[in-house]
Amino acid sequence: MRIIVVGGGVVGVASAYWLRLAGHEVALIEQDVEAGRGVSAGNGGQLSYAYVEPLAGPDLWTKFPAILLGLDSAVRMRPDLRLDSIRWGLSFLRHCFGRRQADSLQSLLILASESHRALAELTNDVPLPFDYAAVGKLILYRDIKGLEEAGRLAEIKRQYGFRVEALDRARCLALEPALHHYRNPFAGGIYAPEDAAGDCGQFTRGLYAHLRDAMGVETHGSTRVTHLSTRGGRVVGVELDTGEMLADAVVLANGIDASRLAATVGLKLQIEPVKGYSITAPARPEAPVVSLTDRAEKVVFAHLGHRLRAAAFADLDGWSPTVDPRRARQLLAMVRHLFPAAADWDRAEPVWAGQRPMTPSGVPLIGPSKVPGLYLNAGHGGLGWTLACGAGKRLAGMIP
């Protein structure tokens, strides 16, 4: 089959890779000048296979009044009176607890396990430089109660084959000596030794080049898809500014823009942008080696080669991609306070922001849509880097 993949982020290039490996003729379309410049460019850098909890969870539900009042520093919501946004918000709240929340977690853990294996397969066949380091991940908890609750959740994850263990404060310090200089209190942590870190932007650009140069994938940069083309109720290609491009099937792997294109054939996708922020600075010898997440502050740290990246915030504040200067200052102040000696924050790159495409449940949309000829690989939220390879391989297995 000839398949058009729309989107040159990590999900799009992973989809194109597995589809080409399955023997399909693939055309990959990216609206930017090169791949990996959107949400893939500055995400947190962590490959958090054992920790793919959806944003919609019991802890967020309990904080919801504070979030609405603007009193929560990690999550911010601004009311959006569009009917689609209201429906998304109500569905999101329903997924915060009970059976829905448990089902979402199960789905994400299964996909994360697939993705862990798929990335290993890909990098074994295609050596790519992306500052990959299988260093594990440690999630810090402020008090014993939170640590014990996390320990019970760890039992569920072990059922899916993940290695996770609870560490007291002393063992956390032994595992990561940089924590001696960490300024937030913590009682202990949950350690996932098989989790990793890597530069998603580098990976995406490297794989894009390999698809083009070594696998015969037809690539189109600086090319915007205006709408989907149909014949007799079936998607048969895409319409570009320069004309029509035909195919046997089209895959939407273009993040939040997937909703716009799906709407051109009457399909509504429950995807909303959730903005995250990151800052990257030259690492110092005191930087942590293990990937870290501060559960209370909802901030993550990942060591990427000679750099340290910190990422935080989940802002449901509309469709504008601009960096909020107040959020940028807040992030810089936070990392300076928490890890003052870990990086040269005075030489940090400009604060980055990306709009992560999220479904209410946090589970991405993967597979055939209700419209014949149209397939989806979208809605990965803040887990796109972690889930991309598994999602791409799963999608390829769904296309005959």
Query: What would the pLDDT profile of 302-334 be if each residue is shown by its tens digit?
Result: 999 999 999 999 888 777 788 999 999 999 999
Residues of the chain with pLDDT below 50 are 68-69, 71
Query: What would the pLDDT profile of 126-158 be if each residue is shown by its tens digit?
Result: 999 999 999 999 999 999 988 988 888 888 888
Domain boundaries, the chain: 2-398
Joined tokens for residue 149: 């609750």
DSSP code per residue over 114-151: HHHHHHHHHHHHS---S--B---EEEEESSHHHHHHHH
- Which residues have CB under 8 Å from 209's CB, separation 6+? none
Q: How far is CA 88 from CA 270, 361, 387, in A?
A: 6, 10, 22
Per CATH, the number for 2-398 is 3.50.50.60
Torsion angles phi and psi, residue 285, rounded to 5: -60, -25
Give the pLDDT confidence score for residue 69 in this predicted structure.
43
Give the pLDDT confidence score for residue 354 in this predicted structure.
94
State if pTM tops 0.85.
Answer: yes
Joined tokens for residue 135: 């260093």
Residue 156 to residue 352: CA distance in whole angstroms: 34
Joined tokens for residue 139: 């999630």
Give the pLDDT confidence score for residue 71 in this predicted structure.
46
